[in-house]
Amino acid sequence: MASYPEHLQYSREHEWVDASSPAVVGITLHAAEALGDVVYVELPEVGAEVVAGEVVGEIESTKSVSELYSPVTGTVVEVNQAAVDDPAVVNADP
């Protein structure tokens, strides 16, 4: 099914990471649907050192708040400002 592409790896916290370098991280369609309308996204700062399994941000919907975890260890080089500016993109295109 196109919703869960096989070239991505998935974490227990419903996140995906791809194989590119630098790696791209996101949340799955399942997570986006479970959250409902996303209204606020808090991402780590560029330059932050993150450790796999640690909380690095927050994703908030109309009815709930969930923590964002880093599925991998490394340094954040870029964040998706589009998701911060318009959280609805997370629902439209997780």
Partner 1 sequence: MTPRSTPLEAEHRALGATLTAFGGWLMPLRYTSDLAEHRAVRVAAGMFDLSHMGEIHLEGPGAAAALDHALVGSASAITPGRARYSMFCAEDGSVLDDLIVYRLAEQHFLVVANAGNAGLVARELAARAEGFDVAVDDRSLATALVAVQGPRAEEIVADLVAPADADAVRALPYYAAIPVTLQVGEGIDTLVARTGYTGEDGFELFGDVADAVPLWRGLLAAGGPRGLVPAGLAARDSLRLEAGMPLYGHELDTTTTPYEAGLGRVVRLDKVDADGSPVPFVGRAALAARKTSPPSRVLVGLRGESRRSARAGYDVITPTGATVGTVTSAAPSPTLGHPIAMAYVTPEVSGEGTRLAVDVRGRAEPFVVVPLPFYRRPAV
Residues found near partner 1 in the complex (CB under 8 A)? 36-37, 39-40, 58, 60-63, 65, 91
Cα separation, 74 vs 52, in Å, equals 8
Q: Given the complex with partner 1, which of 49 and 58 has the nearer CB atom?
A: 58
Nearer CB in complex with partner 1: 17/84: 84
Which residues fall within 8 angstroms of residue 37, CB to CB, at 6 or more apart? 61, 62, 88, 91
User: Closest separation between CB of residue 61 and partner 1, Å?
Assistant: 8
Nearer to partner 1, 30 or 73 (CB): 30
Give the span between the Cα atoms of 79 and 43, in whole angstroms: 7
Q: Shortest gap between Cβ of 2 and partner 1 (angstroms)?
A: 20
- Least distance (Å) between residue 59 CB and partner 1: 12
- Contact criterion met (CB below 8 Å) for 91 and 37: yes
Residue whose CB is less far from partner 1, 17 or 39: 39
